[in-house]
A and B are shown apart, each in its own frame.
Chain A
Amino acid sequence: MTREVRGVAAAPGIAVGSVKWLAAAPVTSPDDAPGSDVEAEIARAETAFETVAGRYSAQALDATGPAADILFMTSALAADPALLDQVRADIRGGTPTAHAVTRAVTHFGEQLTALGGLMAERASDLRDVGQRVVAELLGVDPPGIPDSATPFVLAAQDLAPADTASLDPERVIGLLTVAGGPTSHTAILAKALGIPAVVAAPEAVTIAEGTEIVLDGTSGVIEFEPTAARREEVLALRARQAAVPTGPGRTSDGHAVPLLANVGSAADARLAVELGAEGVGLFRTEFLFLDRKSAPTVAEQSERYAEIFRIMGDRPVIVRTLDAGSDKPLPYLALPDEENPALGVRGLRLSSVDEGTLLDQLTAVEAAVKETGTPVKVMAPMVATVEEAAYFAARARTAGLETPGIMIEIPAAALRSEYLGAEVEFFSIGTNDLSQYLFGADRMSSAVAALHDPWQPALAVTIATVVTGAAKQGVKVGVCGESASNPEFACVLVGLGVETLSMAPRSIAGVRAKLAEVTRAQCEAAAAAVVSARTAEDALRAARAALGVDT
C-alpha cells in the first residue's frame, strides 16, 4: 500500500523519480594532524576563503533579484575579516587548519542563532560558507547537489542559496525540504526554475536515499513507491506538458491566447524568447531605480530599455512605469515614512510628490522605441481613480506613447473599469496585489496566505467585473499576476474573457500545454463554475470537473 507524507506546496508541477539527499558536509576534528608550517597553513586557509568568496560573487553576478542579494551577502561572509582573524589565531594556537574553520564558523554561528529571527537564518548561510571552505582545504567535493546520470528528486534538510542557485532543472526534477517555508528562498527559486517543490515536510527525514517517490508541488503530497500504473500516469502528465513546447497559446479549438512573459532584466527577456513567449506582458522597471543614490538619467534608462526591446524584436512589450515607494523606497527621494507601505505613496502615486521620475521614464521609453522599432505600450501601477487613469494617459500621449494602459490591482479600479476604460487603451490585472487589497491580506504575511489562493471565488468575480466594464469601452484585458501561471486557473481566466496571460517565462510551457487540452467552451464552463462557487475548495473542484481533469 502506498504511504505518503505531506508538506507545504511551494512550486507547482509533478515529478516522479528517486530521492537523492544533498551531499553531507565534510567533518573535521581537533585530532586531525595540524600542518607543520603555521604560516603556510594560514596562507592555505586564506586562499580557501578567497576561492569560496570568489565563487559566491561569481554566482551573484549571474543571478538576479533575491538570489543575487543573498549570494552577495554570503560572499561578504566568506571574506569577513573577523572570521579570518579567528581562524588565523586558532591555527597559531595549534588547531588543525580545517578544524579551525569549523570552530570559527560555529562560534559566530552560535552568536547569530542566539540573536534569533532574521539573524538566526544567516547562521545557515555561514555554515554553508564554512563547509565549502573546509571541503576546499580537505580537497574533497563541496557539499551540495549530488552527481547523477539520471534525473532525481533532491531532498535536503534545507537548501542554501548557493545550492538552489545552481540547480539544473534537467537534472533535478523535484525539490523536497524538511525545513523551510512557502516563502523561503528555495520556494522562490524553484518557481523561477519551474521545478516542482514541497517544503516543510518534517516526516521526509525518514525517506531513504534512492526511494522512488511522486512529488506533487501543487498539493504538497509525497507518495512513496508508486505502482507502475501511477508512475506511468505521472510520466504521461509530464510528457503531455512537454509535448506542446512551442507555438502560440491557443485552446484545442483554436481560440488564441497570447502567452507573454513577465521580465525584469535582459536575461529574463532572453529566456522568455527561448521559451517561446509571444511578447512581454509586464516589464518591471524597478531594477533601474532601486539601490542607487541618484535617479538614473534619461539616456541611461533609454539604453537599458532598448537593450530589452532589441531582444524582443517585433514581439510586443508592455512597460510598467516605476512601481516603487514605501515598501520599495528610493534612496534619492525623500519619501514620508508610512505605517502601512502597501497602502501608501507607491506606484503612480509617487507622481504626486515627484512627477519628474514619471516624465523622465516616459521620455526614455519613447526614445528606446524610436531606436528599436519594437511595438511598446506603457502602463501605470496602482491606479485607483478615473482622474489618475486620465492623468497617466495624458502624460504618456504627450511623450508620444499612444496606447497607454493601467494595472488593475485596486478593487476601486476594478469596480469602475467601465469609467477607467474610457481613459486608456488596455488593462492588465495584477492578481497578487488585487488579492491583497480585495481580501485585506498582506502579501508578505504567511499567516493569511490562504486568502491569496487564486481559487477564492471573490477574485474571479472581481476579474469578471473588470472584463464586463472593459468590454463596454472596447478595452482589452490581460492578467500579469501569479495566478496566470497556474495552468488550470489560466483556463478559468480565459473563460472569464481575459485575452492575454503574462507570467514567469518558465511557467509558459505548462499553461500552453493545459490550454491546448481544453476548448474555449470548457474554459467558460470552468469560469462560470468558479464565479458561482461558495468556497475556494468548491471552486477548484468544479473548475477541474469542467476542464475534464481527473481528481
Chain B
Amino acid sequence: MITRTAVVASKTGLHARPAALFAKAAGEAGVPVQISKAGKDPVAANSLLQIMTLGVEQGDTVTLHAQDGAETALDKLVSMLETDLDA
C-alpha cells in the first residue's frame, strides 16, 4: 500500500467541476485509488459523489491510497489536485 498527500488548490475545493474532473482521471488511473481527508473514512476516488461528501475545501490536505506499483498514477493525481481545476 502506498499513500501520497496533496493540498487542494481549487477555489471551490473538490466540488462540482473540479471533483468531476478528478474522479474521471482517477477512474482512468488503471488501479483502484482511494481518497481520504482527516476525520473521514477513505472513499473511492473514482466516485464524484463520494468525493463531494468528503466536503474538501481549498487548502485542505487529502491523502490518496493505492496498491504498490501505482506511484506514477498517484503522482499524476496529486499534481492534478494541486492545480486549480476551477479554471
In the assembled complex, B12 has its CB within 8 A of some CB on chain A = yes
Interface presence of B48 (CB below 8 A): yes
Let me know if A154 is at the binding interface, CB within 8 A: no
- Report B-chain residues with C-beta under 8 Å of the C-beta of A112: 49, 52-53
CB contacts under 8 Å to B, within A243-291, are: 290-291
> Is A329's CB under 8 angstroms from B84's CB?
yes
Interface size on B, residues (CB 8 A): 23
- B47 near A80: Cβ-Cβ < 8 Å: yes
CA gap between A324 and B87 in the complex, in Å: 9
Q: Are B47 and A82 in contact (CB under 8 A)?
A: yes
What 0/1 pattern do residues 24 to 38 of B give for CB contact below 8 A with A? 100100000000000
- Which residue of the partner chain B has the closest CB to A292? B87
Tally of contact residues, A, Cβ under 8 A: 26
Contacts of B7-21 to chain A: CB distance below 8 A: 12, 15-17, 19-20
Which one of B15, B16, B86 has the highest number of Cβ atoms from chain A below 10 Å of its Cβ? B16
**Chain A residues closer than 8 Å to B43, beta-carbon distance:** 82
Q: Indicate which residue in B12, B16, B47, B86 contacts A81 across the interface (CB closer than 8 Å).
A: B47
B22 to chain A, nearest CB (A): 10
Query: Given A80-B48, A81-B46, A122 and B16 touching (CB < 8 A)?
Result: yes
Q: Given A73-B20, A82-B47, does the pair A122, B87 have CB atoms closer than 8 Å? A: no
Check if A82 sits within 8 Å of B49, measured CB to CB.
yes
* Chain A residues within 8 Å of B15, by CB: 118-119, 122
Contact B20 A72 (CB under 8 A): yes
Contact partners of B6 in chain A: CB under 8 A? none
Whether the pair A108, B53 counts as a contact (CB closer than 8 A) is yes
Given A72-B20, A73-B17: A119 and B52 interface contact (C-beta under 8 Å) = yes
| A68 nearest CB neighbor, chain B only | B17
Segment 79-122 of A: residues with Cβ below 8 Å from B = 80-83, 108, 111-112, 115, 118-119, 122
Residues of chain B whose beta carbon lies under 8 Å from any beta carbon of chain A = 12, 15-17, 19-20, 23-24, 27, 43-44, 46-50, 52-53, 55, 83-84, 86-87
26 pairs, CB–CB < 8 Å, chain A vs chain B? A72-B17, A73-B17, A73-B19, A73-B20, A73-B48, A77-B20, A77-B49, A80-B48, A81-B27, A81-B44, A81-B46, A81-B47, A82-B49, A82-B50, A112-B52, A115-B52, A115-B53, A115-B55, A119-B15, A119-B55, A122-B15, A122-B16, A126-B49, A324-B87, A329-B84, A331-B87
Ranked nearest first, the 6 interchain pairs of A and B with the lowest CB-CB distance are A82-B47, A76-B20, A73-B20, A111-B53, A115-B55, A329-B84
Known: A115-B52, A331-B84; 17 extra A-B contacts, CB below 8 A, are A69-B17, A73-B16, A73-B17, A73-B20, A77-B48, A80-B48, A80-B49, A80-B50, A83-B49, A108-B53, A112-B49, A119-B52, A119-B53, A122-B16, A291-B87, A330-B87, A331-B83
